[in-house]
Amino acid sequence: MAVINIGGVTEDVITADEFPLEKAREALKNETIAILGYGVQGPAQALNLRDNGFPVIVGQLESDKTCWDKALADGFVPGKTLFTIEEAARRGTIIQYLLSDAGQMATWPSVKKCLNKGDALYFSHGFSIVYKEQTKIVPPADVDVILVAPKGSGRNVRLNFLDGSGINSSYAVFQDYTGRAKERTLALGIAIGSGYLFPTTFAEEVYSDLTGERGVLMGCLAGIMEAQYNLFRKHGHSPSEAFNETVEELTQSLIRLVGENGMDWMYANCSATAQRGALDWKGPFRDAVAPVFDKLYESVVSGKETERVLKTNSAPDYRQKLDKELEEMRNMEMWQAGAVIRSLRPERRNK
């Protein structure tokens, strides 16, 4: 276990140096890992585990042809490594419950009946356990309940694994029946290719995750991009100029520097005019959005956000409504401009 100190706060983190892949293989040598759900996180975690030499089976609704066909294309074989949700849960000793939150709620009664004494029920999100009053997911007392939550999309969990970098993940133990829950958790975190593992709780994970994706990671990011793009267009700037100054420069230049060396380094390596302006305006933007973040966090902790998510995602016409919302976003001038500008990047023109 490595100890890091950040601003006087000490954290214990786990890397492959402290818990190498060989130790993970030894810890899980008698386990059968069942991935339930082949949608977002399922494919990445299943393929990373398989590539690292762990026995993996997949459980998927055959009626969901898109996910079923994807599992087939990835080499999982019906009756051997690809099963129904219930059959995979019955065969597994570690059940990685990677269906959507609404999907977990819908399938829980049948999955619960398949759990055996000593199994591990694994989540990559604290949602179902923390909001059990809404989801009705209460695990039996004779199983381990554990969490490994990669801090990235399923796509990047896979891509980072393939390039050897890994995605950082948080981990938690909610229920330790076997006395091996933490060992199982850390082994699985290393086995799916995590860059490093840091401890959390189910509640802290879901509060930070739901706030983050509604905030800086997605909701806030899209909102402020739209606001700046619309401002430029209102003042007569062309779509190309508005998009380049709002999105392209951020994603293709500046955010890469932040990721590699930090915000302070990026500030230190831009023009003096940009430095001064950014430093002067950072505070007003922070203060303007702070009340929105307070309201957002309260909505997450109170369960209002999850109540809306479950109600919306469980509706029979959810997919049609979602497709309509995404189509509206796709057809905005801002993202139409983005599609054209991305096509002009040298690596695409030269293909």
Check residue 10 and give its pLDDT: 85
Average pLDDT score, the chain: 94
Residue 108: pLDDT over 80: yes
Check residue 1 and give its pLDDT: 67
Is residue 1 a contact partner of residue 13, using CB atoms and an 8 Å limit? yes
Residue 12: pLDDT over 90: no
- Dist CA 315 CA 336 (whole Å): 30
Amino acid, single-letter form, for residue 240:
S
Tell me which CATH code domain 2-200 carries.
Answer: 3.40.50.720
Residue 337: pLDDT over 80: yes
- List the one residue out of 205, 260, 198 whose CA is nearest residue 4: 198
Q: What tens digit of pLDDT does each residue of 260-296 get?
A: 999 999 999 889 999 999 999 999 999 999 999 999 9
Q: What tens digit of pLDDT does each residue of 27-42 get?
A: 999 999 999 999 989 9
- List the one residue out of 26, 16, 87 whose CA is nearest residue 58: 87
Please tell me whether residue 13 adopts helix, strand or coil conformation: strand
- List the one residue out of 139, 81, 76, 152 whose CA is nearest residue 113: 139
Give me the count of residues in the chain.
351
Is residue 81 a contact partner of residue 56, using CB atoms and an 8 Å limit? yes
Catalytic residue among 59, 111, 125, 139: 125
Is residue 147 a contact partner of residue 176, using CB atoms and an 8 Å limit? no
Check residue 187 and give its pLDDT: 97
- Domain boundaries defined on the chain: 2-200, 212-349
More confident residue, 149 or 7: 149
Cα of 196 vs its chain's centroid, Å:
15
Q: What tens digit of pLDDT does each residue of 151-163 get?
A: 988 999 999 999 9
- Dist CA 161 CA 189 (whole Å): 12
Q: What is the DSSP string of 90-143?
A: HH-SEEEE-S-HHHHHHHHHHHHHH--TT-EEEESSSHHHHTHHHH-----TTS
Check residue 351 and give its pLDDT: 60
Q: What tens digit of pLDDT does each residue of 173-229 get?
A: 999 999 999 999 999 999 999 989 999 999 999 999 999 999 999 999 999 999 999
Q: Is 235 a catalytic residue?
A: no
Topology of the domain comprising 212-349: N-(1-d-carboxylethyl)-l-norvaline Dehydrogenase; domain 2 (1.10.1040)
Check residue 349 and give its pLDDT: 61
Sort strands 56-59 and 2-6 into parallel, antiparallel or unpaired: unpaired
Both tokens of residue 152? 């990235």
Check residue 55 and give its pLDDT: 92
Instruction: List beta partners, residue 147.
Output: 123, 172
Residue 242: pLDDT over 90: yes
Check residue 348 and give its pLDDT: 65
When pLDDT is cut at 50, 70 and 90, the band that residue 326 belongs to is very high
More confident residue, 82 or 11: 82
pTM: 0.90
